[in-house]
Amino acid sequence: MLAALITDQETVALQEFDHPEPEPDQVVVDISFCGVCGTDVHSYQSPGPANPSTCGHEWVGHVSGKGADVDRLSEGDRVVIAVPPSCGRCAACHAGQMEKCQTVLLATVGRGPFSTPHGGFAPHLAVHHGRAVLANSALTDEQAAQIEPATICFHAVRATAPRLGDVAVIQGAGPIGLNTMQWVLAAGAGEVIVVEPADARRELAKDLGAHAVVSPGEEADALIAERTKGLGADLVYECAGIPATVQSAVNMTRRGGRMCLIGLAIGDASISPGAWLMKEIKVSAALGYTHEEFEMAMGYVADGRVDLDALHTATVGLDKLEEVLIDLGSGSSTQTKVLIDPRV
């Protein structure tokens, strides 16, 4: 079978792999759809190969085989990709910090014992059964393929939640920003402002409930000042994943405000420590999620409180992956969330 990997900067290769056979603690999943993530785009634009395990890490599929030690899943089950549960063996787990499990962290970044030779840009994949979560039966395959990034945003907003009535700014209206915006609205923010350079994405943010949308720069600064009587936002979620936007997120906050870092910027970011100090800013960051949060996020999507269908703009075959990465990285794409169907 063929699996797509980013093997170097601006290089996608379709490589031959044997049809996977499950190890005792693994399941084989027949992939239905795999989402193209902003991390995939950044990896494509960066020197060197992408981590094979994270190249295609937003998928849904059906279990077609399982190892001898797997009893929690059955063939035919529809599953979505997740990080594994806490291991119970690492230093963090032994310290009672199960939510900071080091094995889970390694799996989140595609390292350690849960890594795989390729990701979900392939028709079949063998993974540890702990990484497969049963999909909510009320979700379509297209929705289920978007649950992994939706849960990342759910986790971030749950950890750094707006207070009732807060003015919250979402910086970046890609899939992560638009997901975050919907969770922030559900969490009770009083006003949500989305800062995004692309016209189509600003319009989509408005359609999904943003109270105001604006281009970055002076226009955004003026609007936020107007809406907050010059104070600045109570809370800014940085979802653009660009080094320069880390400082601009802080610039938008009021004194004593909060900034939550969600977007993954490749490379170092320049900051102004004096501004952070003078503002007494509270900065948090969010990475990963728990299985409990997967279940909760799927429930919100299933009952219609979070709309993933509006984010899904195209589905293409495996041979079109490189075209999608080029398009999404161009800065002028009309697409939001593109799904790869490896069966095509």
- 109 vs 327: CA distance, rounded Å: 25
Q: Which fold has domain 2-146+308-341?
A: Quinone Oxidoreductase; Chain A, domain 1 (3.90.180)
pLDDT for the residue numbered 153: 97
CATH class of the 152-285 domain in this structure = alpha beta
Residue scoring higher pLDDT (209 or 112) = 209
3-class SS of residue 296: helix
pLDDT in tens, 56-75: 999 999 999 999 999 999 99
Number of neighbouring beta carbons within 10 Å of residue 170? 32
Domain ranges of the chain: 2-146+308-341, 152-285
First to last CA, the chain: 12
Nearest residue to 121 via CA among 2, 4, 7: 4
- 253 vs 325: CA distance, rounded Å: 32
Number of neighbouring beta carbons within 10 Å of residue 305? 12
Going by pLDDT thresholds of 50, 70 and 90, the confidence category of residue 103 is confident
Label the pairing between strands 11-16 and 2-8: antiparallel
Q: Is there a contact between 236 and 260 (Cβ–Cβ < 8 Å)?
A: yes
Q: Is there a contact between 242 and 213 (Cβ–Cβ < 8 Å)?
A: no
Q: Quickly tell me which residue has 């936002």 as its tokens.
A: 233
Q: Is the pLDDT of residue 152 over 90?
A: yes
Q: Phi/psi at 88 (nearest 5 deg)? A: 80, 5
Q: Do domains 2-146+308-341 and 152-285 have the same CATH topology?
A: no
